[in-house]
Amino acid sequence: MSESSVTILLVRHGRTPWNVEGRIQGRTDIELDEQGHLDAVLAAELLRAHAPLRVVSSPLRRAAVTAERIADALDLPSPALDADLTEQGFGIAEGMLWPEFESRFPDGHVPGAESKLDLVARAHRALHAHAVAIDPGGVLVAVSHGALINAVVKRACRRDLSDYPGAAANGSVTRLAWRAGADDPAAAFAFVERVVPLTEPA
């Protein structure tokens, strides 16, 4: 990693009841379930070795509580909340089970839903704003949501989609390298790896 770069660790929030049911959450504010709180603790253990300097988060409760648990575990300041890290808005599809969504919207187009282009643009805006506040060579943790993380990573893998790791699991940690001074905001982000925490032993 160059001196002008920052490591960004994207964490997907812990599990919620709607994740278990297979419902589209979007901007609906769903709480973590018991496993979701454990997901946050396990993610914090993965993050510890990276010695992050700061935690930022979507303001939706499932992300914000995950971020709070991580910050507490790592003895970091309370997470800063950023609306640009909120999940993609799915409009009338929120609350639907995925099979119903696929049946009603086979082309993926939902009237009134946020576009992927708008989603990625605001995600890049948020991550850039927080990365520039970190000392070069430092580490930032950003807690967000599946659709946002997937969209950012797919954009970062645009030159070689064989690197794309697929959908982010609850509690997973996706490492990006952010480089200052890129002409194209998207070109500032490079995918490095994704790590999924081990579940608690039985």
Catalytic residue positions, numbered: 13, 87
Q: Which of 43, 127, 25 is nearest to 82 (CA)?
A: 127
Please say whether the beta carbons of 141 and 85 come within 8 A: no
How distant, in Å, are the alpha carbons of 40, 158, 190 from that of 125?
25, 18, 15
Separation of alpha carbons 13 and 72, rounded Å: 15
Q: Which of 198, 184, 170, 195 is nearest to 9 (CA)?
A: 195
Q: Kindly list the strands in the beta sheet with 173-179, ordered across the sheet, starting from the edge strand earlier in the chain.
A: 80-81, 54-57, 139-144, 5-12, 173-179, 189-195
Q: Which of 42, 51, 105 is nearest to 76 (CA)?
A: 51
Length of the chain in residues, anyone? Answer: 202
DSSP 151: H
Cβ atoms within 10 Å, residue 103: 10
